[in-house]
């Protein structure tokens, strides 16, 4: 394996989620990535909104956390799990998060509080679907043979280089399998073909770069945990990778165009980061408070 560290630079790094937000609403993107440059609102106010979580987001975070804990435990002991304790642990996490975090649904008055059971119902469905799937015994019996070389979330937020472009791709689990490598990312949301494809390409590119692997020796899987367990594997050839590299480059330069200093990642004026015209999207945005009064949301 290679060294995962890169020399620190401030230059903007591409990721699927960053570009997705850039496309969705430029103003949301500005507040999310460049809030400290804003002169209209205090940074503390912007950060408070940025740090709000939502019920669907937190359900996914808890599922990821429990599965991460499961994999880390497997590295220590291969003993079968106590299912009762496994679900108790998930329940405890739901309680902790519902008590300690600020939710958009509460902040914007849609409901007065978020209960642990509101989180747990969905979390337990995802976890149950996983441990009842064929992937679970595969992890326990096959993948575990390679546990010393597992990567449970890549280091440095998944920083990598895609055709020399700084990028971030954060998968959940990587295991060697003889001369191959398998990468798995748990999903608690709904499939999105375009996004899924980019994510799988990103994970494969990460492994090509850091592990010096041929793309044909890498299997990247999106593991959907609900409504029932299913997996997405998209076959990719050299042509697909070449066009993915071009796409990453194009999207990166589109985002860098909104910087007055791209090397230092300093944004242009806020006014050019236009608010979305699709007000439906505003219903789910953390920064509604800042746009309120300018438009109907």
- Find residue 218's DSSP bridge partners: 181
CB nearer to ligand SF4: pick between 108 and 209: 108
Q: Which stretch binds ligand SF4 (CB under 6 A): 61-69, 161-169, 256-264, 280-288?
A: 280-288
Closest CA to 190 of 18, 60, 9, 62: 60
CB nearer to ligand SF4: pick between 3 and 278: 278
Per CB under 6 A, 54 contacts ligand SF4: no
Query: What would you report as the CA-atom Rg of the chain, rounded to the nearest whole angstrom?
Result: 20
Give 49-52 contacts, CB < 8 A, sequence gap 24+.
49/107, 49/286, 49/287, 49/289, 49/290, 50/286, 50/287, 51/102, 52/102, 52/103, 52/104, 52/107, 52/286
**How many residues appear in the chain?**
297
Per CB under 6 A, 291 contacts ligand SF4: yes
CB nearer to ligand SF4: pick between 24 and 230: 24
Closest approach of ligand SF4 to the CB of residue 56, in Å: 17
DSSP H or E stretch at residue 266: strand 266-267
Per CB under 6 A, 288 contacts ligand SF4: yes
Per CB under 6 A, 276 contacts ligand SF4: yes
DSSP H or E stretch at residue 168: strand 165-168
Q: Judged by CB under 6 A, which of 70, 162, 222, 282 binds ligand SF4?
A: 282
Per CB under 6 A, 297 contacts ligand SF4: yes
Residue list 17-46, contact with ligand SF4 (CB under 6 A): 25, 27-28
């Amino acid at each position: 394996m290679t060294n995962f560290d890169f020399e620190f630079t401030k230059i903007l790094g591409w990721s699927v989620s960053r570009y997705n937000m850039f496309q969705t609403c430029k103003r949301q993107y500005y507040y999310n990535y460049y809030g400290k440059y804003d002169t209209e609102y205090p940074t503390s106010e912007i950060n408070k909104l940025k740090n709000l979580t939502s019920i669907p987001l937190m359900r996914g975070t808890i599922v990821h956390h429990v599965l991460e804990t499961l994999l880390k435990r497997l590295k220590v002991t291969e003993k079968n799990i106590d299912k009762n304790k496994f679900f108790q642990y998930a329940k405890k996490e739901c309680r902790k998060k519902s008590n300690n975090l600020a939710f958009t649904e509460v902040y914007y008055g849609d409901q007065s509080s978020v209960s642990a059971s509101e989180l747990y119902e969905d979390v337990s469905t995802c976890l149950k679907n996983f441990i009842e799937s064929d992937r679970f015994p595969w992890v326990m019996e096959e993948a575990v043979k390679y546990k010393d070389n597992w990567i449970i979330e890549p280091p440095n937020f998944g920083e990598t280089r895609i055709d020399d472009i700084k990028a971030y791709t954060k998968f959940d689990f990587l295991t060697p399998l003889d001369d191959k490598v398998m990468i798995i990312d748990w999903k608690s949301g709904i499939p999105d073909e375009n996004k899924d494809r980019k994510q799988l390409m990103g994970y494969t590119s990460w492994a090509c770069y850091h592990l010096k692997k041929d793309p044909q020796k890498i299997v990247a899987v999106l593991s959907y945990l609900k409504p029932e367990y299913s997996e997405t594997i998209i076959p990719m050839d050299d042509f697909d990778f070449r066009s993915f590299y071009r796409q990453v480059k194009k999207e990166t330069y589109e985002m860098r165009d909104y910087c007055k200093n791209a090397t230092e990642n300093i944004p242009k004026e806020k006014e050019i980061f236009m608010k979305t015209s699709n007000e439906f999207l505003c219903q789910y945005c953390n920064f509604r408070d800042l746009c309120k009064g300018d438009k109907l949301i």
